[in-house]
Amino acid sequence: MKTQIFYIKDYLLTLQQSIKKSLQVFETKNFITDEWTRAPGANGISGSGITCLLRHGDVFESAGVNFSHVTGNNMPPSATAHRPELAGRHFEALGISSVIHAQNPHVPTSHMNVRFFAAHKENEPSIWWFGGGFDLTPYYPYEEDAIYWHTIAKKACTPFGEKIYPTYKKWADEYFYLPHRQETRGIGGLFFDDLNSATWGWDFEQCLAFLQSVGNHFWPAYGPIVQKRYQQAFTEKMREFQLYRRGRYVEFNLIYDRGTLFGLQSGGRTESILMSLPPKVTWEYQWQPLAGTPEAKLYEKFLKPQEWLAMEKDCV
């Protein structure tokens, strides 16, 4: 498995640089590149990574593209609660995570993560799986953007079978959901986890190929939306609404997100884990949008699961 992990790591580092370069095109300010290592702590977990982060840029208020590779003797509770058979196994986890918050409220927040886990035990077969996906969190409702985003998500899945997109689109709708708010985080996209040879009958290489397809389609899905929206005029009230809605993003990441919980519980590098949080955010007490406004449309349609591709003809 060492050879496979080396190949996965090489792909993830290449993807990290590709996304970073695509983001840098919009900016005069440069990314901070922070290479870090962590010696084994009391929990026996060690690791290394590369954090690439831009804050308070011309277009992006925060844009992070992080790589990490951690190993340890015991899986954290967030993992063993989901997969109890992992308890007591040596593990390693590597992945890339990107979270992008733009200055302009017309530009959605986006998130992408692709990762690989392997858990080993002497005289037993290794347990391995892939996971990841990407999702979009708009502040102002543009149907054509939602349709385009899901068109590219489907394109990433199509070579692997007709059932893949609807399965992982539905999983994203269910995963990126805030039960205490009774709303989705945004318009979803793709989410998959525990992907191994038992899932669809794919071998290791096919599972890896799917991970790569998801990673490779992220910027083609997001970049054109940024290009279309980042120069649109906006008001101070629109900016205030963006900051208010960012609070939902914070709530989800700190309460429900598996990656955040795994990173914090495994003794990961806190600064890198929490780069997903926006620099500025507000909360209001019992705020409600006015009827008939774009903000109301966001709540009425965009924060509920939709079959966006079924609407494509209506928007042509």
**Active site members:** 111
Residue 259's contacts (CB-CB under 8 Å, 6 or more residues apart) are: 95, 97, 113, 115, 273
Sequential DSSP letters for 25-89: TT-SSPPEEEEEEE---TT--EEEEEEEEEES-SSEEEEEEEEEEEEESS--HHHHTT-GGGTT-
Whether the CA torsion 276, 280, 284, 290 is positive or negative: it is: negative
Closest CA relative to residue 97, chosen from 252, 242, 274 = 274
Phi and psi of 191, rounded to 5°? -145, 130
Rounded CA-CA distance 12/4 in Å is 12
Tell me if residue 151 falls in helix, strand or coil. helix
Residue 203 gets which letter from DSSP?
Answer: -
